């Protein structure tokens, strides 16, 4: 199918960016990065950069969109035009519509929506630089932003994409691995509870490979969860006591 075949895993078992198969890209996370939003976060994984903002719970107009027994969730996953190699039209693509849906469903399983009937919780994710793993980075940013907004939730969401490249399962794929690899499996979990909130597979895996991929994902998710917790704690640890 693909004409310029790139070697994605070298003879030493290292990946195109020098990582080991089970190694994450460098991670940066920060919360409360925006002034206006009720909660916000920034997540960077390798060259992927994502901003997320949360508003609410707040009243919805028109009112008939609300539900009498719970808050509704409105979610937009969006890539800005300059985030990709070729300019992406700002209008929502079919891909963005689908991802907004699976991200919304993932968030719905985490938030205690029943506490706030007749309201909406709005979650916005803007991918400002795309280098694979944008939905998983976006979900992490969204979960940090929700926590930052003080919205009661079961757990944070940690998420990562597993890939199969040159027959090897690898953790946290980058863009080249995504484009030329054989499979891409994004997965998101509530790590404390061991519950999967998002799972997709784009590509072909044998049953055994799938079980291996699940294990590899859990390893990455455990590490990402620690980064998330550190990012949240940092906000409080960095408040210096002003001694007089």
Is the CB of 12 or the CB of 63 nearer to another protein? 63
Point out which span in 19-27, 42-50, 170-178, 228-236 binds another protein (CB under 8 A).
228-236
Helix (H) or strand (E) holding 228: helix 207-237
Give least dist CB 11 to another protein, A. 27
Is the CB of 81 or the CB of 150 nearer to another protein? 150
Give least dist CB 39 to another protein, A. 7
Give least dist CB 84 to another protein, A. 14
Residue 231, Ramachandran bin (φ over 0: left; ψ between -120 and 50: alpha; else beta)? alpha
Among candidates 192, 188, 204, which has minimal Cα distance to 139? Answer: 188
Three-state DSSP state, 236: helix
* Interface residue with another protein, options 84, 109, 168, 175 (CB under 8 A): 109
Give, as ranges, the residues between 60 and 89 that touch another protein (CB under 8 A).
64-68, 70-76
Pairing of strands 119-129, 27-31: unpaired
Among candidates 122, 18, 39, 135, which has minimal Cα distance to 73? Answer: 122
91 binds another protein (CB under 8 A): no
128 binds another protein (CB under 8 A): no
- Considering CB under 8 A, how many residues would be counted as binding another protein? 83
Nearest-angstrom CA–CA distance, 38 and 17: 37
Give least dist CB 49 to another protein, A. 22
102 binds another protein (CB under 8 A): yes
Give, as ranges, the residues between 6 and 65 that touch another protein (CB under 8 A).
38-39, 56-59, 64-65
Non-local (6+) Cβ contacts of 44 within 8 A are 26, 27, 28, 29, 50, 137
- Paired tokens of 134: 């944008």
Nearest-angstrom CA–CA distance, 174 and 149: 30
Task: Kindly compute the dihedral angle of the four CA atoms of residues 182, 227, 76, 89, in this order, to the nearest 10 degrees.
Answer: -60
Beta carbons of 4 and 103 less than 8 angstroms apart: no
Give, as ranges, the residues between 184 and 213 that touch another protein (CB under 8 A).
185, 190-207, 210-211
Is the CB of 8 or the CB of 103 nearer to another protein? 103
106 binds another protein (CB under 8 A): yes
Is the CB of 121 or the CB of 137 nearer to another protein? 121
Give least dist CB 153 to another protein, A. 5
Give least dist CB 9 to another protein, A. 20
């Amino acid at each position: 199918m693909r004409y310029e075949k790139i070697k994605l895993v070298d003879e030493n078992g290292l990946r195109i960016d020098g990582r080991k198969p089970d190694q994450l890209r460098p991670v940066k996370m920060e919360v409360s990065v925006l002034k206006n939003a009720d909660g916000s976060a920034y997540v960077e994984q390798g060259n992927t950069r994502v901003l997320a903002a949360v508003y609410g719970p707040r009243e919805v107009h028109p009112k008939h969109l609300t539900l009498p027994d719970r808050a509704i969730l409105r979610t937009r996953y969006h890539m800005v035009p300059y985030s990709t190699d070729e300019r992406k039209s700002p209008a929502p693509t079919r891909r963005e519509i689908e991802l907004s849906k699976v991200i919304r469903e993932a968030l719905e399983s985490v938030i205690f929506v029943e506490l706030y009937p007749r309201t909406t919780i709005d979650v916005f994710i803007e991918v400002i630089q795309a280098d694979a793993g944008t939905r998983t980075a976006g979900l992490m940013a969204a979960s940090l932003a929700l926590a930052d907004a003080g919205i009661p939730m079961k757990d944070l969401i940690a998420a990562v994409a597993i890939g199969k490249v040159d027959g090897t399962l690898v953790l946290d794929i980058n863009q080249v691995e995504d484009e030329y690899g054989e499979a891409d499996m994004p997965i998101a979990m509530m790590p404390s509870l061991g519950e999967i909130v998002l799972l997709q597979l784009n590509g072909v895996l044998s049953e055994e490979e799938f079980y291996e991929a699940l294990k590899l994902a859990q390893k990455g998710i455990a590490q990402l969860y620690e980064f998330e917790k550190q990012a949240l704690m940092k906000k409080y640890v960095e408040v210096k006591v002003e001694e007089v």
